[in-house]
Amino acid sequence: MKKTITTLLAITFAMISLAQRNKVTYDFPPEMTGKIREDFIKRWETGKTLYGINCAKCHNTKKKRKTIIPDFKPEQLTGYALRVKNAQHEASMPDNQVSPEELGLIVTFLVYKKKCQ
Amino acid sequence: MMRKYMLLSLCLLILSISSISFKETETSDYTKAYRQKLSVFRATQEQLLKMITIADINDKDVVQQLKTTIENARNSMKSMDFWIRYLEPLAYKLVNGPLRVEWETEVFEKFEKPYRREGAGLTLATLYLDEEHIEKDTLILLIKSSLDATDIFAADSVTKALATYHHFYLCNRLYLLNLAAIYTTGFENPNANRIVPELTELLTSVNQIYRLYNTCFPVAPLSREYLTLYSNLISFVNVQNKDAALFDHFTFIRDYVNPLFAINQQLILQYKVVSESLADYSLNKNATSIFEKGLYDGQNAKGIFIRVNDSVALGQIEQTGKLLFYDPILSGNNKRSCASCHKPKQYFTDTAIRTPLHFNRKEPLARNAPSLINAVYNHLIMLDGKHFTLQHQTKEVINNPSEMSCNVNEVLAKVLSCKEYKKRLQKLLQYTPQEKEITYDHIASCITWYYSKFSKSYSPFDNAINKKGEIGAQEQSGFNLFMSKAQCATCHFVPQFNGVKPPYIGSEFEVLGVPADTSFVKLSLDEGRYIVNPAKETRNAFRTGSIRNAAHTKPYMHNGVFTSLEQVIDFYDAGGGAGRGLNVTNQTLSSDSLNLTVQEKKDLIAFIKSLDEQVFFETPPAKLPISKTKALNTRIVNGTY
């Protein structure tokens, strides 16, 4: 039973991430090329998945069945200070739920994500 | 009719205005009390500054007068210590800093370079007055900085927190933790005779804050049970000996401070207290005792598996970690495993040699292999604080040419050449959706999760102070010495007895003047923290380790120079390296002798032995996974050296 649920969850997750893959693209500066760009894309993809696990539930919105990842303001993306700036974060994303390294990846993703507007 | 309506609405208006203003007076009474105390504190410092300006500081009587005036200012500071220490920790360092310069990397700053933070204020001014050559300008600067910092506490950005009840329970939590860890140890009171009197004043002033708070914030009051217990605590302290060396720290914490902490924790949950301060970064709201291992989060032992809570999955990670821990496949020559130097049955250290052998098997390494037990309660890892996660540390040791000397690319290839590892790790991949394939981080995380399970045990001391068991009179008196005359607790803080002090967000380093060998002819050449963060204060500084299980983790100090607890205590009793005549210009330990008696030393050791945790050790795995590469299959469990 447990296994079926896990598999189902994994499939759903894979489908969601596949569905999202083409919708969100990054917005890297044109100067960023070659290996650096590749590395960033990798980090960015990891950050995207981590965003999906940790943040999407509260922050994403739906518009005509389309999932929208909001554009965060630079002052919202403050690294570790994120944990206390938003009172809800203290309970929803403590240190034993999202590691500081992961938080960094999430912020990287959000900074370079193609803006909605 | 119209008039009637008007009259009614007028009544309502008056009523609502009066209720608003009534409410405002109540909370503003609380803020008013804060501001009043702050202006008294300011005035006492101004008076002190004036006095210094005109004083002849070479006159001994004048110096004595200055000390009395400083004490006066200290009392006014202590009357609001409850608030200011929590609300603005950086400004607090300038009014009551323990050191002139501190290099800090707090947990939320770990990706940044260490910060040089200056200290000033009353404790440092008193200490300065005891120095041989004193200059007026330096003294003025210490007080002037303090006075300037005092204004920060009056800023709206700070006082706005006083408008709601949330800050109160967080201030109180820090206050209770410090009652257990530093207020009674002389950590920031250079005058031992003043420790207990100052504590009494602190307790009384906080009692006034409690009463005022309960009147002003009826929505979230302190319970009657709390207030009664707090009154009992004051009565207990009142009948204690005024000599800090005779103060019963054990009973103070067991019967009063820790139960008060438990109630405060419960109220934090009940009132859904929310923090907006980074100072609360690692404290755990669900801990019900100061001596609970989950009081604060030090390290993330799960690593990449951080969000896994399912016990079956955690068991799989642990079992994989166990195999890897004992497997020399992680070393360059397939002859060394983690267990080679961190011998599990020797409390995950090596008690037989001073420092482990170099990878080349020729010379010894520079530093002792620290026990892995309780490593998880440090914010910075390694004796020089080089790493800030357990996983970085694990990977670095595996790759380090003088330790396990395995190439980064090789590790993964070798591990995955074993069918069993591949199968196990592939299965674990489902718990890390952010990673598409097995990484080095999966390997490191399995290992850290495995060995960290041995950090969850409690000692007889923990059980006694949690009222779940008892320890003897000698152990208790050893603890009381540890907290007072022997000055151990000013660096080995309650409850982990390591260098992490409330609010448990950073690891401290100390310069002790550890000798190269027991002849005490020269200092150890190891520069310690200086290698990571070069500064004159960090030369030869090492991260303070835990006292827990110390009876089983010999040899001691970074270079393993001492082989018995007696030697270690004698070293501290003599005032460290400087006390033994070595030239240590930046020693952070007093070079004065502690004057411990033979009996006192025995008591201290009895206490240290009561910190032996009841760790259940395991037998090593019977065999290791078989590799496709035949040459790898000659390796043996544990490795050979």
pLDDT in tens, B37-59: 999 999 999 999 999 999 998 89
Chain A positions touching B433 (Cβ under 8 A) are: 13, 49, 53
State ipTM. 0.84
Q: What is the mean pLDDT of residues B386-392?
A: 96
Q: Which two tokens stand for residue B11?
A: 């009544």
Using CB atoms, which residue from B281, B430, B434 is nearest to A95?
B281
Q: Which two tokens stand for residue B578?
A: 């400087």
Contact A69, A16 (CB under 8 A): no
Average pLDDT, chain B: 94
Q: Which two tokens stand for residue B160?
A: 């706005």
Per-residue confidence band for B179, with pLDDT thresholds at 50, 70 and 90 = very high
Residue of B nearest to A100 (CA): B108
Distance CA B456, CA B461 (A): 14
What's the first-to-final CA gap in chain A, in angstroms? 44
A74 found inside a domain? yes
Contact criterion met (CB < 8 Å) for B306 and A97 = yes
pLDDT at position A9 over 80? no
Q: What is the pLDDT of residue B142?
A: 97
Distance CA B251, CA B258 (A): 10
> Shortest CA distance to B350 belongs to which of B326, B332, B372, B324?
B372
- Most confident by average pLDDT, A6-15, A17-26, B55-64, B425-434: B425-434
- Please tell me the least confidently modeled range out of A56-65, B25-34, B132-141, B376-385: B25-34
Report all structural domains of chain B as residue ranges with CATH numbers, in order of start: 25-163 (no CATH), 170-184+192-290 (no CATH), 304-457+617-634 (1.10.760.10), 460-609 (1.10.760.10)
In chain A, what percentage of residues exceed pLDDT 70? Answer: 79
CA angle (B393 as vertex; B388, B398 as ends), nearest 5: 165
Distance CA B51, CA B65 (A): 9
Distance CA B317, CA B564 (A): 37
Contact criterion met (CB < 8 Å) for A84 and B433 = no
pLDDT in tens, B577-614: 999 999 999 999 999 999 999 999 999 999 999 999 99
A46 found inside a domain? yes
**Distance from A62 to chain B by nearest Cα, in Å?**
23
Q: Which two tokens stand for residue B245?
A: 């060396």
How far is residue B184 from each of residues B89, B139, B151, B192, B623, measured CA to CA in Å? Answer: 20, 26, 28, 10, 52
Per-residue confidence band for B223, with pLDDT thresholds at 50, 70 and 90 = very high
Chain B positions touching A89 (Cβ under 8 A) are: none
How far is residue B625 from each of residues B257, B430, B447, B636, B641, measured CA to CA in Å? Answer: 51, 22, 16, 10, 20
A14 found inside a domain? yes
Q: What is the mean pLDDT of residues B514-527?
A: 97
Provide the H-helix boundaries in B55-121. Answer: 60-78, 81-87, 89-96
Q: Which helix (H) or strand (E) holds B116?
A: strand B115-118
Average pLDDT, chain A: 83
Residues belonging to chain B with any Cβ–Cβ distance to chain A shorter than 8 Å: 107-111, 274-278, 280-282, 297, 300, 306-307, 389, 430, 433-435
Chain B positions touching A80 (Cβ under 8 A) are: 108-109, 278, 281
Using CB atoms, which residue from B110, B278, B300 is nearest to A96?
B300
Q: Which helix (H) or strand (E) holds A80?
A: none
pLDDT in tens, B433-492: 999 999 999 999 999 999 999 999 999 999 999 999 999 999 999 999 999 999 999 999
Per-residue confidence band for B20, with pLDDT thresholds at 50, 70 and 90 = very low
Residue of A nearest to B429 (CA): A10
**Distance from A79 to chain B by nearest Cα, in Å?**
9
pLDDT at position B576 over 50? yes
Q: What is the mean pLDDT of residues B355-378?
A: 97
Chain A positions touching B297 (Cβ under 8 A) are: 94-96
Q: What is the mean pLDDT of residues B213-226?
A: 97
A22 found inside a domain? yes
* 3-state DSSP of B142-157: HHHHHHHHHHHCCCHH
A117 found inside a domain? no
**Distance from A65 to chain B by nearest Cα, in Å?**
24
Contact criterion met (CB < 8 Å) for B306 and A104 = no
Distance CA A95, CA B275 (A): 14
Contact B110, B388 (CB under 8 A): yes
**Distance from B439 to chain A by nearest Cα, in Å?**
13
Residue of A nearest to B309 (CA): A97
Contact criterion met (CB < 8 Å) for A84 and B275 = yes
pLDDT at position B7 over 60? no
A29 found inside a domain? yes
| Residue with the larger pLDDT of the pair A80 and B629 | B629
Contacts of B549 (CB under 8 A, 6+ apart): B347, B371, B373, B374, B459, B611, B612, B613, B615
Q: Which long-range contacts (CB under 8 A, 24 or more apart) does A86-95 make?
A: A87/B274, A87/B276, A88/A58, A90/B274, A90/B275, A90/B280, A92/A58, A93/A54, A93/A55, A94/B297, A95/B107, A95/B281, A95/B282, A95/B297, A95/B300
In chain B, what percentage of residues exceed pLDDT 70? Answer: 96
Contact criterion met (CB < 8 Å) for B434 and A10 = no
Distance CA B120, CA B124 (A): 6
Q: What is the pLDDT of residue A85?
A: 82
Distance CA B302, CA B315 (A): 12
- Pairing assessment for the beta strands B542-543 and B509-510 based on DSSP bridges: antiparallel
Q: What is the pLDDT of residue B511?
A: 98
pLDDT at position A23 over 90? no
| Range of the structural domain that residue A83 is part of | 2-112
- Please tell me the least confidently modeled range out of B21-25, B105-109, B418-422: B21-25
Using CB atoms, which residue from A50, A85, A90 is nearest to B434?
A50
Using CB atoms, which residue from A10, A49, A87 is nearest to B434?
A49
Contact criterion met (CB < 8 Å) for B278 and A100 = no
Distance CA B44, CA B41 (A): 5
Only one residue has tokens 């696990």, namely A53
What domain count does chain A have? Answer: 1
> In Å, how far from its chain's centre is CA B399?
30
pLDDT at position A115 over 90? no
Q: How many A-B residue pairs are in contact by the CB < 8 A criterion?
A: 55
pLDDT in tens, B263-276: 999 999 999 999 98
Per-residue confidence band for B189, with pLDDT thresholds at 50, 70 and 90 = confident
Q: Which helix (H) or strand (E) holds B115?
A: strand B115-118
Q: What is the pLDDT of residue B18?
A: 47
